[in-house]
């Protein structure tokens, strides 16, 4: 008889809080064994235990003293050890349940990256070793968030990078899906702590998830981008509770995806910078924002009014933490770019309605603005993309705004 089909392969990822102590590691190890015994090929990516990455960073700073930055190369090798600890311990736990298992570093798993220490990008994955271990019937545990650059040095993928490792391995192995296990049990229509009627979504599209992720819901946006490019279905679910999670995918829109508005994304750390009386001529916007880009400050909502007397106001938002620095950088340019004054204001938030179903329908903006006004919420700035409408409001207004929108777009459970 011929083998009916290729064996199913699943890539799982467990976050730091899921593997923060020996007991949790044993609990997960048992679950992994049960799943492996159904005949599924299992690759499991783990993050460093609990806050151990933060602890390693603190240690590095302690040995160099406050005023010297640790070498980025040494830092990456140091941080990669956090994931090696959890990966090897997980393999030992699984072995104690009589399951064949092997743990691999990122390097051993064939992950090659560019040389940008601290935020390396994956360049390629050679899946030979992984495939060989799977074929031998072993569960493969892979240390997350790390790889090797061309010079043979260890790199890390940036904070929260284990999600990216997992999705990349799933793509390289053409796995059936990637499962991200964490301390939340899925993706919600909005933050349930702010809107009590928020519902867990059964599924969400990649694009929508990207909007939800960059605006608050937990998952590394880079990993979602990667999943979208390689069409890897990603399940986000709870590590310890046995409840259905949320499937992120790009398949045929079914009932729920057809909904015009899928969720309300919230970002409560917004500040705005207003540059008044800016000369209205080419090069001004670029000139103002270039130094911010060079300083790594990302600018979000940008509004520029048309001018009537040759001068205009130019307003943009940044994250609250970067507002002071952004303000100083703009001030420094008053000599080269003529403007009257610049001010900054914090205490703002972004409230967005997100959904691919909005693309061709008129009226969503009007419904949104009406709902906000009925809740007595004043809109400061507005911006839109094809699948999102965002309003900047006062941070204190977020609960009223989010609840009103959740009801207006029929998302309540």
Q: Look at the block and give the residue holding tokens 């051993």.
A: 108
Tell me whether residue 145 or residue 316 sits nearer to ligand ASP (CB atom).
Answer: 145
The dihedral of CA 360, 363, 366, 367: what is its sign?
negative
Is residue 145 at the binding interface for ligand ASP, with CB under 6 A as the rule? yes
Is residue 18 at the binding interface for Mg ion, with CB under 5 A as the rule? no
Q: Which stretch binds ligand ASP (CB under 6 A): 153-161, 242-250, 301-309, 400-408?
A: 153-161
- Return phi, psi of residue 78, to 5°: -60, -50
Is residue 390 at the binding interface for Mg ion, with CB under 5 A as the rule? no
Q: Please state, in angstroms and as integers, the Cα–Cα distance from residue 281 to each residue in 305, 311, 334, following that order.
A: 13, 9, 15
Largest Cα span, the chain: 84
| CB of residue 321 to ligand ASP, shortest distance in Å | 18
Instruction: Give the footprint of ligand ASP on residues 68-97 (CB under 6 A).
Output: 82
Is residue 16 at the binding interface for Mg ion, with CB under 5 A as the rule? yes
The answer to whether the beta carbons of residues 79 and 56 sit under 8 Å apart is yes
Is residue 20 at the binding interface for Mg ion, with CB under 5 A as the rule? no
Tell me whether residue 99 or residue 220 sits nearer to ligand ASP (CB atom).
Answer: 220
13 burial via Cβ count (<10 Å: 0-12, 13-18, 19+)? buried
Q: Which stretch binds Mg ion (CB under 5 A): 24-32, 45-53, 167-175, 276-284?
A: 45-53
Is residue 20 at the binding interface for ligand ASP, with CB under 6 A as the rule? no
405 burial via Cβ count (<10 Å: 0-12, 13-18, 19+)? buried
Q: Please state, in angstroms and as integers, the Cα–Cα distance from residue 312 to each residue in 20, 278, 279, 331, 381, following that order.
A: 54, 5, 7, 17, 16
Query: CA angle at residue 188 from 372 to 45, to 5 degrees?
Result: 145
Tell me whether residue 16 or residue 147 sits nearer to ligand ASP (CB atom).
Answer: 16
| CB of residue 181 to ligand ASP, shortest distance in Å | 12
Q: Look at the block and give the residue holding tokens 């499991």.
A: 44
Q: Which stretch binds ligand ASP (CB under 6 A): 69-77, 131-139, 155-163, 313-321?
A: 155-163
Answer with the entry of Mg ion, ligand ASP, none that 110 interacts with (C-beta below 5 to 8 A by kind). Answer: none
Instruction: Give the footprint of ligand ASP on residues 159-218 (CB under 6 A).
Output: 159-162
Instruction: Give the footprint of Mg ion on residues 46-65 (CB under 5 A).
Output: 47
Find the binder of ligand ASP among 41, 144, 233, 355 (CB under 6 A).
144
Is residue 263 at the binding interface for ligand ASP, with CB under 6 A as the rule? no
Q: Which stretch binds Mg ion (CB under 5 A): 9-17, 113-121, 215-223, 231-239?
A: 9-17
Q: Which stretch binds Mg ion (CB under 5 A): 13-21, 114-122, 209-217, 320-328?
A: 13-21
Instruction: Residue 104: count other Cβ atoms within 10 Å of its Cβ.
Output: 21
Is residue 47 at the binding interface for ligand ASP, with CB under 6 A as the rule? yes
Q: Tell me the C-alpha distance between 402 and 155, whole Å.
A: 40
| Residue 96 region by backbone torsions, left for phi larger than 0, else alpha for psi between -120 and 50, else beta | alpha
The answer to whether the beta carbons of residues 144 and 103 sit under 8 Å apart is no
Is residue 110 at the binding interface for ligand ASP, with CB under 6 A as the rule? no
Q: Tell me the residue number closest to ligand ASP, measured at CB.
A: 162
**Minimal CA–CA distance to 393: which of 338, 352, 335?**
352
Is residue 117 helix, strand or coil? coil
Instruction: Give the footprint of ligand ASP on residues 336-395 (CB under 6 A).
Output: none
Find the binder of ligand ASP among 12, 18, 20, 53 (CB under 6 A).
53
Q: Tell me the C-alpha distance between 40 and 138, whole Å.
A: 10
Q: Which stretch binds Mg ion (CB under 5 A): 42-50, 63-71, 331-339, 363-371?
A: 42-50
Spell out the residues 6+ positions from residue 209 whose beta carbon is closer than 8 angstroms to its own. 187, 217, 219, 224, 248
Tell me whether residue 30 or residue 159 sits nearer to ligand ASP (CB atom).
Answer: 159
**Minimal CA–CA distance to 349: which of 314, 328, 308, 379?**
379
| CB of residue 293 to ligand ASP, shortest distance in Å | 25
Which residue ranges make up the site for ligand ASP (CB under 6 A)? 16, 47-48, 53, 82, 144-145, 159-162
- Residues near Mg ion (CB under 5 A) are 16, 47
């Amino acid at each position: 008889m011929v083998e009916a089909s290729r064996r199913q392969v699943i890539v799982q990822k467990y976050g730091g809080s899921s593997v923060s102590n020996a007991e949790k590691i044993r609990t997960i190890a048992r679950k992994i064994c049960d799943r492996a015994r159904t005949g599924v090929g299992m690759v499991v990516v783990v993050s460093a235990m609990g806050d151990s990455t933060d602890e390693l960073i603190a240690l590095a700073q302690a040995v160099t003293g406050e005023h010297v930055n640790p070498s980025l190369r040494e830092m990456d090798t140091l941080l990669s050890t956090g994931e090696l600890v959890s990966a090897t311990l997980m393999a030992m736990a699984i072995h104690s349940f009589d399951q064949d298992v092997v743990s691999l570093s990122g390097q051993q798993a064939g992950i090659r990256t560019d040389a940008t220490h601290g935020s390396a990008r994956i360049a390629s994955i050679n899946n030979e070793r992984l495939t060989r271990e799977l074929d031998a019937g072993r569960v493969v545990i892979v240390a997350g968030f790390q790889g090797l650059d061309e010079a043979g040095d260890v790199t890390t993928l940036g904070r929260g990078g284990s999600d990216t490792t997992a999705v990349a391995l799933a793509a390289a192995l053409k796995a059936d899906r990637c499962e991200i296990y964490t301390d939340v049990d899925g993706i919600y229509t909005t933050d349930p702590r702010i809107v009590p009627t928020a519902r867990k979504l059964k599924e969400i599209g990649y694009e929508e998830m990207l909007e939800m992720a960059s605006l608050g819901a937990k998952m590394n946006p880079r990993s979602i981008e990667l999943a979208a490019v390689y069409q890897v279905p990603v399940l986000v679910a709870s590590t310890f509770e046995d409840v259905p999670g949320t499937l992120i995918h790009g398949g045929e829109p079914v009932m729920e995806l057809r909904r015009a508005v899928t969720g309300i994304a919230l970002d409560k750390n917004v500040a705005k910078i207003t540059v008044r009386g800016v000369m209205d001529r080419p090069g001004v916007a670029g000139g103002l924002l270039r130094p911010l880009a060079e300083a790594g400050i990302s600018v979000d909502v940008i509004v520029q009014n048309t001018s009537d007397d040759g001068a205009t106001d130019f307003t943009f938002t940044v994250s609250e933490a970067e507002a002071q620095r952004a303000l100083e950088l703009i001030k420094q340019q008053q000599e080269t770019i003529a403007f009257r004054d610049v001010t900054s204001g914090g205490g703002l938030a972004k409230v967005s309605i997100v959904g691919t179903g909005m693309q061709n329908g008129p009226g969503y903006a009007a419904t949104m603005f009406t709902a906000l006004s009925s809740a007595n919420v004043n809109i400061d700035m507005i911006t839109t993309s094809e699948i999102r409408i965002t309003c900047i409001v006062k941070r204190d207004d977020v609960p009223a705004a989010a609840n009103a929108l959740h009801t207006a777009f029929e998302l309540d459970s």
